Amino acid sequence: MEDIKIQNISKNNLVMSHPFNMVASTYFISIKNTFHDFKGLMSDTFPIFGWITRYNSKWFIGDLIAGATVGIMVIPQGIAYATLAQLPPEYGLYTAFLGPILYTIFGTSKDISLGPTAVISLLTGQAVASMSGSGFRPETIAIALAFLSGIINLFMRIVNLTIIIEFISIPVIIGFTSGSSVSIIAGQLPSLMGIKGVKTTDPTINILISVFKKIKTARYQDIIFGVSTLAFLLILKKSSSMLAKRNKRYYYIGVVKNALAIILFTSISYGLTKSKSSYILSVVGTVKSGFYSPRVPEISSELFSKLIVKAITVTVVVILEHVAIAKALARIDHYEINSNSEVLSQGIVNVISSFFGAYASTGSFSRSSVNRTSGSQTPFNGVWTTIVVAISILFLSKAFFYIPRATMSAIIMLSVFELISSPKSIVNLWKIGPVDSISTVVAFLATFFFGVEIGIYSAAGVSVLSVVLKSALPKISLLSDSKSSKVYTDVSIFDVSIPSSGVVVIRPEDSIIFLNASHIKHRITDIVQSITVYPENVESEGNGFFISSNSFESFKKKRLEYLNTIFRYRKFYNINKAINHNDDSRYNDEINKKNEDLPILIALVVDMSAVSTIDATGIQALIDVKEELSDYSKKQVKFFENLNQSNNSTSSSNTIAYSEFEIHYANVNPSVLRVMEISGITGPTISYRNKNASLYSQSLENSPSGSSKNIDASGISKPYNIATNLMFPMNEQAAAEDLNKYSFVSDNVHRSIKDAISSIYSNRV
C-alpha cells in the first residue's frame, strides 16, 4: 500500500507548531490550574463563600418561604418516586433529605431543588429490576448505583470530560424526556387500576400490552381513588392558576396540591379501611420512621461489574437534567451559574448522600420552578427543605401507611405529564431544520419501544449521527462575482452568472476529513466538468492521447442536472424574488450553449474559509483533484486542437496558449496551512515571506528617490493616484507591507479570492 508522503521541512519553517502540542499543553495546564489555583479551586468547590457574607433578612425570608414550600412538595413526590425506583417509601425521603442542604454549600443556582426525580427513579428501578434474583437487596443496588454515579461524576469534573455531555443536543433531550415521561405514565397504570403482575420496568409498549391483556383483573376501588385523585389535582391546578390572577396567594394552592391530595385521600382510605375490615385497597404500607444509619455503600466486585454501565447512564442523565434546568432558570432571572461547580456539586451530593441511604438524585424541574416562583434568594433555601423533610421522617411516618397507591400513581402521572413536549414543539423544530425534529422523534420512539436506558444512548447516537451526516455530505458552493461589486457569491443563492472564464472558484462548506474527502473530491470534479468544455472523443492513456468514442450524452445530462439544481435552489431564497425574472433568460442562455462555447479549465481556486480542519485523507483528495483536473484540462486543449483541425482553422475563440493547470487557495486557516505545507501542496509560508521581504528591500535600495510610495511589495512600479492620495493621506506601501506581515500567503495560497485570480493571470502573462 502506498505510504503517505510528506515534505522534510524544519518545524521552524512551518506556519505553526503541531496542533497536538497546543491542545495537550492547554489541556494539561487547565488541569494543573484546577489544583494549583487554590483560591479558584475553593471558589468552584465552595461557592457558598461567595454570597454568605452578604446574607440579609430579605434573603432569609425569601429562602424560608421557598424552602418550606418545596419541602412540603417533595414529601409526597419522594414517597411516590421511591415506588418508581422499586424501593420502600422511606428511601424516597432519604433521597430528598440530604441533597438540598449539601447543595447549599456546593451549588451556584438559587433556584435548583435537589432530590428524587421521575427519570432517575425510573432508571434506578430498572437497574434494581434487572438484578432481581441476584442475591442483592434492592436498597443495596440503588445506593451502590448512586455512589458509582457520583464517583464517575467527580472523575469527569476533575479531568474536564464533561464536554461529552454536549454530544446530546437539545432536540434529543426533548425527545428522550418526553419518551421517558410516557414510559413513567404507562408504568403507573397498573397501580392506578389495581392490576397485578405487570412488569413496570419493561419498555412502554410492552407495559401497555400487558395492561390491556390483564384489564379484566382491574379493581374498581383503586380506579375510583386514582381517577378521583387525578380530577382533584386538575381542579386545584386549574382553579389556582385562575384565582392567582386576582390574588397571588392563591398560587400556593397549586404548589401544595399534591400534599392536599395525600391528606384528603389518605383520610378517606383510613376511614374506609377502619370501618370495613374486608375493604380491599392497595396502600403504601409501613414507612420506616427515623433516619438511615450512616454506613459505607456495599459494593462488591460482582455488583460493580453489573452496575458500572448503568451508573454511566445515570451520570449522563443526572448532569443533563441538572445543568439544563439550572441554565434555564438562571436565564430567566439574568444571573450566571458555574457549570463546573454544578457538575461537581452533583458528584459530591450523590457520593455523600449514598452513605445516608439515598439513591441517585438531581435537580427537579417542577420543584425548582416552584422554588423560584416562591421567592428563593440563595441556595440556602435548601436548608429549610431539609428541615421539613427531616420532620416528616421523624414524626409523620405512621401517617403515610394508609396512602393509597392509586393516589401516588396519579400524583406521579400528573407530575411527569408536564414534561411531555407538545406536538407543536416538533413542528417548530421542523421549521428550524429537519435534522432537529427527526432527532426528537427518533429519541422519543427509541425510549418508547426499547426502554429508557436504550433511549438515552439512541438519543446520543442520533445527535452524533446528525453531525456525522452533515460533515460527510457538505455542500460545495460554486462562486461567481457580480460585475458591479466584484464580490464572489454562491451561484445557487444569488442572481449571478455561471463562471465562463475558465477559472473555477469553489468553496467547501465544511472541514475536509476522511468522512467527506471522497464526496468533496467528486463534487469538485463534477462541478468543473459541468461548466467547462467536455473533451468529446478525447481520452488519455498513460502519458499520451488517443482518439476514442466517449459518451457525450452523459456530460449533457450531468450539466443539465447541475444547472437545474442551481436555478431551482435560487427560487427558495426570497432575496431573489425581485430579480427572479432574470433567471429564465440566464437559464436559457446556459442550456443553449454549445459544447465548444464552454471554456477550457484554466485554474481552480478553492476558498478555504469554511475549512477549519484537514487530515491525511483530505490532503490526498486535494492532490487527486489536481491530478484529475490537470489531465482533464489537457484533454480540453486537445479537443480544441482536434476541432480546429477538422474545421481547417488555426485558431478558435477558446484556444489559448496552453499552460499547466493550477490550483490556488484562499482564506486558509493556519492549522490547515501547516498540513498543506508538510504535504507539499504549497511551499512554506515563512520561506515565501522571507523571499518577499528580501525583494522588497532590494526594490527600496534600487528606487531613485529612496521612496517606496509607488512601488508594490513585489517591486513593481505602479501609477500614482493623486486623487486617492489627496483623499486618503496614507502610506500605501506600509499598508501593503502590513498585509504581507499579518496574513498567511505563499505561491499558491492567498489572502483572498481576488488575489488568487490576479496571481493566476499574472503567471500567464
Residues comprising the chain, all counted? 765
Q: What is the mean pLDDT of residues 128-142?
A: 91
Q: Per-residue pLDDT tens for 156-213? A: 888 877 777 777 788 888 888 888 889 889 988 998 998 988 888 788 899 999 999 9
- 238 or 451, greater pLDDT: 238
Confidence of residue 222 (pLDDT cuts 50, 70, 90): very high
Buried b (16+ CB within 10 A) or exposed e, 490-506: bbbebbbebbeebbbbb
> What pairs with residue 362 in β-bridges?
115
Query: DSSP string covering 269-285, please?
Result: HHHHHHH-TT----B--
CATH 3.30.750.24 fits 476-646+657-684+730-763, yes or no: yes
Q: Per-residue pLDDT tens for 602-619? A: 999 999 999 999 999 999
Question: Is residue 321 over pLDDT 50?
Answer: yes
pLDDT for residue 719 = 41
pLDDT for residue 581 = 59
pLDDT for residue 170 = 81
Least confident among 263-267, 460-464, 682-686: 682-686
pLDDT for residue 482 = 74
Between the ranges 401-410, 484-493, 571-580, 737-746, where is the mean pLDDT highest? 401-410
Gap between the Cα atoms of 215 and 217, Å rounded: 5
pLDDT for residue 257 = 86
pLDDT for residue 134 = 85
pLDDT for residue 232 = 94
pLDDT for residue 380 = 96
- 224 or 708, greater pLDDT: 224
Query: DSSP string covering 256-267, please?
Result: THHHHHHHHHHH
**Average pLDDT along the chain:** 82
* Spans of all domains in the chain: 15-45, 56-469, 476-646+657-684+730-763
- 641 or 763, greater pLDDT: 641
635: closest CA among 558, 528, 523?
A: 528
Q: Per-residue pLDDT tens for 245-254? A: 888 888 888 8
Gap between the Cα atoms of 720 and 690, Å rounded: 27
Q: What is the mean pLDDT of residues 544-567?
A: 75
Least confident among 153-167, 443-457, 536-550, 721-735: 721-735
Q: What is the mean pLDDT of residues 7-23?
A: 65
Q: What CA dihedral angle connects 330, 331, 337 and 340, to 10 degrees?
A: 120
Q: What is the mean pLDDT of residues 391-395?
A: 93
- The percent of residues in the chain predicted with pLDDT above 90, rounded, is 36
Confidence of residue 273 (pLDDT cuts 50, 70, 90): confident
pLDDT for residue 307 = 94
Confidence of residue 3 (pLDDT cuts 50, 70, 90): low
Question: Is residue 237 over pLDDT 80?
Answer: yes
Confidence of residue 652 (pLDDT cuts 50, 70, 90): very low
Q: What CA dihedral angle connects 365, 167, 519 and 498, to 10 degrees?
A: 50
pLDDT for residue 63 = 94
Confidence of residue 422 (pLDDT cuts 50, 70, 90): confident
Query: DSSP string covering 285-330, please?
Result: -----SPPPP------HHHHHHHHHHHHHHHHHHHHHHHHHHHHHH
Burial class from Cβ neighbours inside 10 Å (0-12, 13-18, 19+) for residue 196 reads exposed
Confidence of residue 711 (pLDDT cuts 50, 70, 90): very low
Confidence of residue 656 (pLDDT cuts 50, 70, 90): very low
Least confident among 267-276, 431-440, 450-459, 643-652: 643-652
Q: What is the mean pLDDT of residues 472-479?
A: 93
pLDDT for residue 175 = 87
Question: Is residue 584 over pLDDT 80?
Answer: no
Between the ranges 75-79, 224-228, 644-648, 717-721, where is the mean pLDDT highest? 224-228
Q: What is the mean pLDDT of residues 474-492?
A: 85
pLDDT for residue 577 = 60
Least confident among 180-194, 315-329, 600-614, 650-664: 650-664
Confidence of residue 23 (pLDDT cuts 50, 70, 90): low
Question: Alpha carbon of 264 to those of 73, 217, 280, 289: distances in Å?
Answer: 15, 27, 18, 22
Question: Is residue 258 over pLDDT 70?
Answer: yes
Question: Is residue 235 over pLDDT 90?
Answer: yes
Question: Is residue 722 over pLDDT 50?
Answer: no
Question: Is residue 655 over pLDDT 70?
Answer: no
Least confident among 20-24, 369-373, 587-591, 688-692: 688-692
Gap between the Cα atoms of 200 and 389, Å rounded: 28
> What pairs with residue 615 in β-bridges?
none
Q: What residues contact 147, with CB distance under 8 A and at least 6 apart?
A: 297, 299, 350, 351, 354
- 647 or 703, greater pLDDT: 647
Gap between the Cα atoms of 751 and 748, Å rounded: 10
pTM for the predicted model, two decimal places:
0.71
pLDDT for residue 547 = 42
Burial class from Cβ neighbours inside 10 Å (0-12, 13-18, 19+) for residue 672 reads buried
